[in-house]
Amino acid sequence: MNKWWWLLLIVSCWMAVGVAMFGPRQGQNSSMPPLPDRVGRIVSLAPNITEILFDIGLGDEIVGVTLDSDYPPAAAEKPKVGTFWQPDIEAVVAARPEMVITLGFEQQKNLAERLRRIGYNSLTVNIDKVSELFEAVGRIGAATGRQRQANELISRIRIKLQQLASLVGAEDKVRVLWVVQREPLRVAGRDTFINEMIELAGGENAIGPTVHKYPPIGSEQVIACNAEVIIESAMAREDIENQRDMALRYWSKFKYLPAVANHRVYVIDGDTVSRLGPRLYKGIETIARYLRPYLFEN
Amino acid sequence: MEQLLTSKKLIAKVALALAVLAAVVFVCSRIGTEDVSLKAVLAGPGTQAAPNPDYEIFIRIRLPRIILAGLVGAALACAGVVFQVLLRNPLADPYILGISSGAGLGAIIAVISGFNWTLWGRSPIAVFAFGGALGTVWLVWFIGRLTGKFHVTGLLLAGVVVNAFFSALMMFLTSIAKSDQVYSTIFWLMGNMKEGDFLVLWIAAGCIIGGIVALFYIGPQLNALSFGADDAGSMGVDVVRTRTIAFGIAAGITAVAVSLSGLIGFVGLVVPHGVRLVFGPDHRQLLPLSGITGAIFLVIADTLARIVVAPAQLPVGVVTAIVGGPFFLILLVKYSRKVSWLK
């Protein structure tokens, strides 16, 4: 039995030494470097954050972006620090940022946490809803000393959205089925950002409230939902034509669905509707155009 | 005929393996997306006004990640050895009794509920995964006990069914989750290595290395158990006690590993078999050599995961299977004549 007690003793000592050396006390001592009034070197970990930074005049200050940051074109020229889903912490640190801005989902929140531990300033913003976009722009502006520009950007986006709202507002709602995946069929539910865009564009989701965020549905529900317009989002810009052909073939089997009978099945560039950023109104405008083409004829 | 294992030979083999591990760690620590000069690292952390990026990347990011990979690899490989002998089943791996699905379920619950706290610098995902892993193992063990004193088939079936049940719950939760939550979970399930906090690394090292030493203590009894419970009993081994200790420690170090790095498959299945094929089935050397080999294997796999598609990263579980699979098959064909369980 002797050797077991020795093992227990050594492991306990080991743990005690560890807590003494790296315990919570030390974590509190490592303070963030003081933030300058106007932040100079910024790493952005999401394409919509990159767009916001460019729009509030911080394009030159960006020293790192993720691989999918391709708008505005100057963003694609910036050094890359990994992908949206798996940022490379070594590359982020090597960029010597004064501030790292991340989104709030697990991978990025976690990276921000790890960077904070090493001693980097990070800002985590949640952008899942349109209202959160305005909040995020405000927080980014405040954290980088660009409050005025941020407020201007917010009012620019608001004005565009109001113009769209007054254009489509009074009309009856168009019933939209938003397809995220065809096989198996999955559509956007009510509790999504896409639902919000559909409503801002003067439509309503043809699918009622569901447990799933993106509910898988069967043919029965497709027929029952009585959609007037079907919109699919294409993953890649090059695929749109191809996907339109396949979509028309697929949907032709529901020939009594109003959307199919009236040839109102559309394929939309996924990038314009998946990024909740300053170009939000463009996506909504595209959707509104599909819902009521006659409003945009002049 | 196999040669007798003397303590001198054992120490020599372990020392040699440790030297290889040290060499691998050194080489892998030199490779990464950013070039780091050793001279700059030795210059120290620098001041707050002028920090030393090389030091920061090497000491705070790269080295902790390599150490973590080594610890996780060692834990999974040793747990694999133990589960294979306890269940007397060559297909056994550390996840066979439901640890993977229990930890996965814990992780996805933590992701979906969106908790924002940390415990000792670990995210709620790690904490929930650890709890889920241990809870599931206890459940399977409990059900297994109901089927008989230590009925291997009962335990295995309980594990398989609990695994399937929790996997179904996981799939349900994934299907109702937001897309970013789904992605977060998928990356976790494929094995997600990242650098750890020093305190977490230290404590994990204590648990895992301590556990491996304890398993090494009961190596002779495990040797007896590999002939079956009845034979082991007639050789004077306390079967129930040995099994309980081995099972508890193996499950414990697996739970620690899983909570740190997500589900990394293949290490716990292939490394024990590989070491057994090359060095023979004596647990006194199988355990330490598997641990060190597992560490070497995962450090190399994780380095590949870091650099192959840089600056993006591959999930390390993908690399372990792609690199380990063919390598294991070569070993299998070359050495299979040496080992009795294949005949």
Q: How close, in Å, is residue B169 to chain A by CA atoms?
A: 14
Determine the Cα–Cα distance for residues B204 and B197; give it in Å rounded to an integer: 11
The DSSP output letter for B226 is T
Provide the shortest C-alpha distance from residue B15 to chain A (in Å): 20
CA pair distance B278, B276, nearest whole angstrom: 6
Mark which residues 12-71 of A lie under 8 Å from B by CB. 14-15, 17-19, 21-24, 27, 33, 67
The domain that contains B54 carries what CATH number?
1.10.3470.10
pLDDT tens string for chain B (343 positions)?
345 678 888 999 999 999 999 999 999 998 887 888 888 888 777 776 667 888 888 888 899 999 999 999 999 999 999 999 988 888 888 888 889 899 999 989 988 887 767 666 567 888 899 999 999 999 998 888 888 766 788 888 888 899 999 999 998 998 888 777 888 888 888 887 888 788 889 999 999 999 999 999 999 999 998 888 888 888 888 888 898 899 999 999 999 999 988 889 889 999 999 898 888 888 999 999 999 999 999 999 999 998 888 777 888 888 998 888 888 888 888 877 665 554 4
Residue A298 CA to residue A292 CA, distance in Å, equals 13
A56 vs A128, A138, A171, B22, B179, CA distance in Å? 20, 10, 35, 50, 29
Tokens 């892993």 locate to: B133
Rg from Cα positions in chain B: 21
- Cβ atoms of residues B181 and A105 within 8 Å: yes
State the Cα angle at B7 between B4 and B9, rounded to 5°. Answer: 65
Residue B29, in any domain of the structure: no
Under CATH, what is the fold of the domain A170-296?
Rossmann fold (3.40.50)
- How many CA atoms lie less than 13 Å away from A242 in the CB half-sphere? 6
Q: Judge residue B73's burial from the number of C-beta atoms within 10 Å of its C-beta, 0-12 exposed, 13-18 middle, 19 or more buried.
A: buried
Query: What is the per-residue pLDDT for A29?
Result: 44
Contact check, Cβ <8 Å, A88/B60: no
Chain A hits for B198, Cβ within 8 Å: 21-22
The angle at the Cα of A122, spanning A116 to A125, to the nearest 5 degrees, equals: 130
Among all residues of chain B, which has the CA nearest to that of A17? B202
Residues of chain A short of pLDDT 50, as ranges, are 26-30
Phi-psi region of A226 (alpha: psi -120 to 50; beta: other; left: phi over 0): left
Domain encompassing residue B159:
49-342
Q: For residue B160, tell me if it sits in a domain.
A: yes
Is B33–A214 a contact, with Cβ atoms under 8 angstroms apart? no
**Spatial contact of B117 and B124, defined as CB atoms under 8 Å apart:** yes
Q: Confirm whether A42-160 and A170-296 share one CATH topology.
A: yes
Which residue type occupies A190?
R
From B127's Cα to the closest Cα of chain A, the distance in A is 14
- Give contacts of B207 with chain A, Cβ < 8 Å: 11
Taking only Cα atoms into account, the Rg of chain A, rounded to an integer number of angstroms, comes to 24
User: Which fold would CATH assign to domain A42-160?
Assistant: Rossmann fold (3.40.50)
The alpha carbon of residue B335 is apart from the nearest alpha carbon of chain A, in Å, by 36
Q: Which of A86, A178, A275 to mutate to test the interface with B (most CBs of B within 10 A)?
A: A86
Identify the three-state secondary structure at position B50: coil
The domain ranges of chain A are 42-160, 170-296
Residue type, A204: E
Q: Round to the nearest angstrom and report the end-to-end CA distance of chain B.
A: 16
**Residue B139, CA distances (Å) to A55, A235, B249 in order:** 55, 43, 16
Instruction: Please state the ipTM of this predicted complex.
Output: 0.80
Residue B193 lies in a domain: yes
Contacts of B177 in chain A (CB under 8 A): 213
Task: Give how many domains chain B has, as a whole number.
Answer: 1
Q: Can you say whether the dihedral through the CA atoms of A75, A80, A86, A89 is positive or negative?
A: negative
Mutate to test the interface with B, among A84, A89, A124 (most CBs of B within 10 A): A89
- Report yes or no on B37 lying in a domain: no
Distance CA A296, CA A290 (A): 10
Helix, coil or strand: residue A110: helix
